């Protein structure tokens, strides 16, 4: 129940909900629990649900030509965890989403979200803003990867914007997210600590 309330509070950050609107949403939303290292969605699987993390941490990654995993994003409490290109286009996902910790999510099917977007102004506002934020986050990450040094990326993307990841994400995944080797990440961290 607490997880559903977290989902409600997240929606209401964008606009208030009438009790009848929340009851309709709560009826369609369900809780899902993931064990550590359990995939939420696998490579090539089409995404037809929107997921909201209420507890835990999700890692997104892609697999490159050399079959190396490249971390592209993290979602933790209070954030959505959805491969949006697969969700929006109903196409196979080119990302894998996996729980890095025991994770609790609220899930809701695309057709239900679509109906709520058309009938509940708060959901419409939330959905639009969440997509805008996801786009801006992706653009920010791409800019950082192309135009900032490893130290600048670490300072901005981790220390300033998501310091909690340092305690929760293995350094190999943080390095991949920053587009650097684990050895380079160790040097950057040592340099900053000195």
Dihedral pair phi/psi, residue 37, rounded to 5°: 70, 10
Residue 2 has a pLDDT of: 87
pTM above 0.95, yes or no: no
Residue 3 has a pLDDT of: 86
Whether 141 is in a domain gets the answer: no
Which of 110, 86, 131, 122 has the alpha carbon at shortest distance from 28?
Answer: 110
Residue 1 has a pLDDT of: 66
Whether 42 is in a domain gets the answer: yes
Expressed as residue numbers, the domain containing 193 is 148-194
Whether 7 is in a domain gets the answer: yes
From 89, 111, 134, give the residue that closes a domain: 134
Per-residue pLDDT of the chain (194 residues; tens, 9 = 90+): 688 999 999 999 888 999 999 999 999 999 999 999 999 999 999 999 999 999 999 999 999 999 999 999 999 999 999 999 999 999 999 999 999 999 999 999 999 999 999 999 999 999 999 999 999 998 999 999 899 999 999 999 999 999 999 999 999 999 999 999 999 999 999 988 87
Whether 19 is in a domain gets the answer: yes
Residue 116 has a pLDDT of: 97
CATH number reported for the structural domain that contains residue 19 in this entry: 2.60.120.10
**Total count of domains within the chain:** 2
For 56, what's the count of Cα atoms within 13 Å in the CB-facing half-sphere?
Answer: 27
Which of 77, 9, 17, 157 has the alpha carbon at shortest distance from 166?
Answer: 157
Residue 14 has a pLDDT of: 87
The rounded distance, in Å, linking the Cα atoms of 141 and 163 is: 16
Q: Quick one: 130 and 52 in the same domain?
A: yes
Q: Quick one: 121 and 173 in the same domain?
A: no
């Amino acid at each position: 129940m607490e997880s559903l309330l977290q989902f409600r509070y997240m929606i209401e950050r964008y606009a208030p909900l009438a009790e009848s609107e929340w009851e309709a949403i709560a009826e369609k939303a369900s809780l899902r629990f993931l064990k550590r290292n359990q995939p939420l969605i696998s490579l090539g699987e089409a995404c037809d649900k929107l997921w909201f993390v209420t507890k835990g941490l999700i890692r997104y990654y892609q697999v490159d030509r050399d079959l190396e995993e490249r971390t592209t994003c993290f979602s933790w409490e209070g954030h959505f965890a959805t491969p949006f290109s697969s969700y929006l286009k109903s196409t196979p996902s080119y990302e894998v989403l996996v729980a890095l910790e025991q994770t609790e999510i609220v899930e809701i099917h695309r057709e239900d979200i679509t109906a709520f977007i058309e009938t509940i102004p708060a959901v419409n506002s939330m959905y639009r803003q969440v997509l805008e934020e996801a786009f801006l986050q992706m653009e920010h990450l791409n800019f950082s990867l192309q135009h900032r040094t490893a130290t600048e990326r670490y300072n901005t993307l981790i220390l300033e914007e998501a310091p909690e990841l340092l305690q929760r994400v293995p350094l190999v995944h943080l390095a991949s997210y920053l587009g650097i080797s684990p050895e380079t990440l160790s040097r950057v961290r040592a340099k900053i600590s000195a």
